[in-house]
Each structure stands twice: as C-alpha cells, then as structure tokens.
Structure 1
Amino acid sequence: MARRFILGALAGPVGGGVARAVLRALQDHPKLARTNFRGRNVSLAGGPALAAGATAGAIVHRPEHAAASAIAGLGSGAVGLYDDLVGGRPEHAAKGFKGHLGALREGRVTSGLVKIAGVGAAGLAAAALLPRKRAVDVVLGAGVIAGAANLFNLLDLRPGRALKAGIAVGGPLGASGPLGAAGALLPADLDEEIMLGDAGANALGALLGVAYTARTGTLGRLAALAGIAALTAASEKVSFTKVIEANPVLNRLDQWGRRKPSPYPRGRG
C-alpha cells in the first residue's frame, strides 16, 4: 500500500517534468508550426510532449502495467503524430472513416487510415497485456482504449478542451501520470502557444482507457464502450462545439482560462 502511494505521488511530477522537457526541446521545430482555429501561430509540440510525459508518468505509477501503457500511449501518439505531419497533403485527403475506406478502395492509403489501424492495434495489444485475459475482455478493453483515443481527438477542437476533459476523467481514475502531464501543458494550451493535435489527444485518451480498463471487468468495459460508441456516433451528426456553447455550464468550463479573442494573429516569440 505504501509503495503504491509513493509511486502515485511520484507519477505526477515525472509526467509533468517529462512533458515540459520534451516541449522545450521541440516547441520551435519548424515542422511542428501550425495555425489554430483563430489564425494564431502555435506549435504541435504539445502532442509529443503529452504522449511522452503521460506515458512516463503512467509507467511510474503502475509498473505492472508498464508494457500496456507504453504501447497505448506511445503507439497511439506515434501514429497520431504521423497524421499530424502528413495529413494535410493532397494524397492523404479524406474525411471520416468512410472517406478513408473510400480512398483505400481507390488504392490510396491515407495517413488517417494508418492512424485508425495503428490506434486499434495499440489498443488491442495493450488490452491483451492487462488483467482479465478472456477473449471477450480483451476485445472490450481494446475497444475502450482505442475508442477513448478517438473520442479525445474529437474533443481537441479548442484550446484546453481535451486536457480539461482528461483531468476530469483522470482524477477519479487516479491516473497520476496523465494528470501530471496534462496539468503541466494546460497553461500553454490555454494560452494558444501549443496544440495537442492527434498525437497528444490520442495518447491521452488511450492512456486513460488503459487506466479504466485495468480497473474494470466485463460489464464495466462494456458500459464504457457503449458510452464511447454513442458519443462517437453522435459526433457524426452533432457538433460537440455547438453543444458545449449552447450549455451555460459546459461553455463556462470550456472558456475557463482561455485567451480572450483578438482580431490580430500573433506568432510565437
């Protein structure tokens, strides 16, 4: 019990420290420069920083799940980063899962399809390394991990939104590593200096999926997967941003800490 407490106490600072170190190393890399929804210059370095920090913290907190956390966090983050870097090229253009499958039928393998397959494979491998080895539990766990990765990616449309959701979900789960990394990067995300991109959002969701899956059995995994599937299906019909903006409580939480709108785009530095 004491060992678990000590590891949990160390995981947050480790996650935050690694995230800050990676961010410092990558923030000015020209290939990671992007323009956000408001026309401000930001860096995609938040993605690899979060993936590395959250994974490191998760491994420290639960060393018995180290392999599952590493595969889920770094695997999902890596394929997400690939999509972030090349997804804007014309040959990778496609919208939604159906669009990527349509491109495949045309003989094109899009970066989005690589991401979908990679996140799914990472989720399956991670679930197979967690407790409860029955096939049904592994499949359900894989769905939770991969589905959570995709769901957090759908949330990452405004500064700080995915990180706030990650903190809200990670707190009850006791996911100290992802919480530490998310907390370390939240100020820069809210200030529109960085963005998570697919790399960060996928990794955060996948690691929270691992934390949940490791604590639950068949029914818990089934319930979570049903909820994730329902929200994902709803996102195809309804804009999460519009729903949040229409709800006073959600909108207040979403706006909390964010930079006030400015008509003048500003570059970093």
Structure 2
Amino acid sequence: MASRVKSAGLGALAARAALAWIRRDPRAGELDRTNFHGRTVSLAGGPALAAGATLGAAVGAPSAAAALAVLTAGATGGAVGFYDDVVGSRPEQKSTKGFRGHLGALREGRVTSGLVKIAGVGAAGLCAAALLARDPGVRAHQARQQAGAVRRAADVLLGAGVIAGTANLLNLLDLRPGRASKAAMIIGTPMVVGRGGALTAGTLGASAALLPADLDEEIMLGDSGANALGALLGVALAAKTGPTGRALALVVLAGLTAASEKVSFTKVIQDTPGLRELDALGRRPTS
C-alpha cells in the first residue's frame, strides 16, 4: 500500500509542477486553443500529464524492465501526441481525419502529423511489450504456460496491440472535459490491486491531480495527455495479463475503435442515463 501511495503522490506532484512550469513559459500562449464551448483552454495539460504519469508509473514499476517499458510508452506517446497537437492544427493538416484519412494522405505522398502519432505510438507499444517480456513476473507466467518462441513473439505483438489500442481509446474519448481521465479511473482502479499496482497508481495519481483544471476548462489533455495516459494503462494491463487476457483486451479495444468509425461516442454517452450523469459530473456548467 505504501508504494502505491508514494507513486500516486509523486505522479500528482510531478504533474502539477510540470503544468506550472509550462504555463510560466513565455511561449505558453501558443498552446491556447478554443474548446467546444468556445472557451480558451491550454494544451499545457497534455505534456504535464504525460510527464507526471510517466514518472509516477516508472517509480511504481515492479522491475527495471517494466520501468523501461513505462518510460518508452509514456514519453513517446506524450511526445508524438504533442507533435500532433501542435502541427495538426495547421490548415493543411486539419482536413485529414481518422486512420483511413491518414493512410489516404500517405498514398498521395503526404505524411500527416496524425500518421506520425500513429506510427510513434505503435512503435512505442511494440518496444514496451518487448521490454515487458523481460519482466520476471511476465517470464514466470510464460514459463508456466511453457511458451515457445513463436508464442512468446505472438504475446509481444498482443501486448503491443493492447498498449497502442488503449492509447487510441483514451484519445477517442478525450472530446469533453474530464472524460478521458474519468475513463482512465474506471479502467485503472481494478489494476491498482496486485503486482504492479503501484505502476497504475502513479498513472492515476497524475491524472487525478489535473482533473479539476480539466473539468474547469482551464486546460485540456489533447493527444499528448490522452495518448500517454492510455499507453501507460496499456502497459499496466499488458503486464498483468497473459496471452489470453491480452487477446481478449485487444478484441474489445479493436471493437470499440471500429465502432468509433460508425457512431459518435459523445452521442452514445448523451443518450445513455448513468453515463450522461457520470460524464457531466464535476464539469463546469454551460453558460
């Protein structure tokens, strides 16, 4: 329990300190954006969350290999997400949306910021999953499964899919203040229990520290914060599951991603009692 409290507290302090440091920068005004309410909010919350959550999770990691996996997934997810936040707002980038749109642009010879983000998160997920395979707890699980080389490689690919898929899911949900962080709490709270729980606690501590400012529409997470937050939860989930668990998680993530191409998550939430109230909880009233 003490390690979980320490990781959560460190993640929270680091996120708040990073946010204050970024907002004091003379160029902080370049991060201002207009949200769906027409209010001016700062993208500073994204890199601040990425930094705090990555540090808190790394400190709480159960092994050196898991800590390296956390640093790879969190830092890369935050960095490529921030690149997309900044470059993706340019006029020539705004018209390209969705995975199909980015691939279509590539066929035309254009590399979009969104494609850079997708490739970066995917590569980071693969590296992080490979690092997790060196974790003593994961190796012990593989030994019990008597996994061969092919099965271990498949498990790494499944882990990469879980990490990248969770990063993408949180990014898809980050369309309203606090929504991504609330989803992270729902997904991550059960993972605080058991081995590696401090890793998740560090991630959630940073997220909780910035949630009030997010709900009050002072900051927004953007792709930087949402991708880092999701990638870190993906690392925690991959570290706790074997091939079957990873495969099941990947099926759910793939299904939700496919559904997002057809339906609006915001509309589903607004039309569903319970989800609608949870989504609005703590949020600044519309005026």
What TM-score range do you get, normalising by the shorter chain? over 0.9
Matched, 1:54 2:57: no
Task: Give structure 2 stretches of 5+ with no counterpart.
Answer: 140-151, 193-199
- Kindly provide the amino acid, as one letter, of the partner of residue 160 in structure 1: G
Asked if 2 retains the 8 angstrom alpha-carbon contact of 1:123 and 1:146, the reply is: yes
SS of match in other structure, 2:33 = strand
* Match of residue 107 from structure 1: 109
| Alpha-carbon shift at residue 109 of structure 1 (Å) | 0.6
| Alpha-carbon shift at residue 63 of structure 1 (Å) | 4.9
1:63-82 aligned within 5 A: 63-64=62-63, 65-82=66-83
- Kindly provide the amino acid, as one letter, of the partner of residue 127 in structure 1: A
SS of match in other structure, 2:155 = helix
1:120-139 aligned within 5 A: 120-131=122-133, 132=138, 134-139=152-157
| Alpha-carbon shift at residue 91 of structure 1 (Å) | 3.1
Number of positions where the alignment pairs a residue of Structure 1 with one of Structure 2: 258
* Match of residue 95 from structure 1: 97
Matched, 1:142 2:144: no
Matched, 1:191 2:187: no
| Alpha-carbon shift at residue 250 of structure 1 (Å) | 0.1
| Alpha-carbon shift at residue 169 of structure 1 (Å) | 1.1
Asked if 2 retains the 8 angstrom alpha-carbon contact of 1:127 and 1:139, the reply is: yes
| Alpha-carbon shift at residue 200 of structure 1 (Å) | 0.2
CA RMSD of aligned residues (A): 1.1
Question: In terms of mean alpha carbon deviation, does 78-87 or 170-179 score higher?
Answer: 170-179
1:1-269 aligned within 5 A: 5-27=1-23, 29-64=28-63, 65-93=66-94, 94-131=96-133, 132=138, 134-174=152-192, 175-262=200-287
Distance in 2 between the 1:89 and 1:83 partners? Answer: 10
Distance in 2 between the 1:239 and 1:17 partners? Answer: 35
Distance in 1 between the 2:61 and 2:105 partners? Answer: 40
| Alpha-carbon shift at residue 170 of structure 1 (Å) | 1.2
SS of match in other structure, 2:115 = helix
* Match of residue 265 from structure 1: none
Distance in 1 between the 2:67 and 2:278 partners? Answer: 33
Distance in 1 between the 2:93 and 2:107 partners? Answer: 13
- TM-score normalised to the size of structure 2? 0.88
Asked if 2 retains the 8 angstrom alpha-carbon contact of 1:83 and 1:115, the reply is: yes
- Kindly provide the amino acid, as one letter, of the partner of residue 72 in structure 2: I
Distance in 2 between the 1:141 and 1:222 partners? Answer: 8
| Alpha-carbon shift at residue 51 of structure 1 (Å) | 0.4
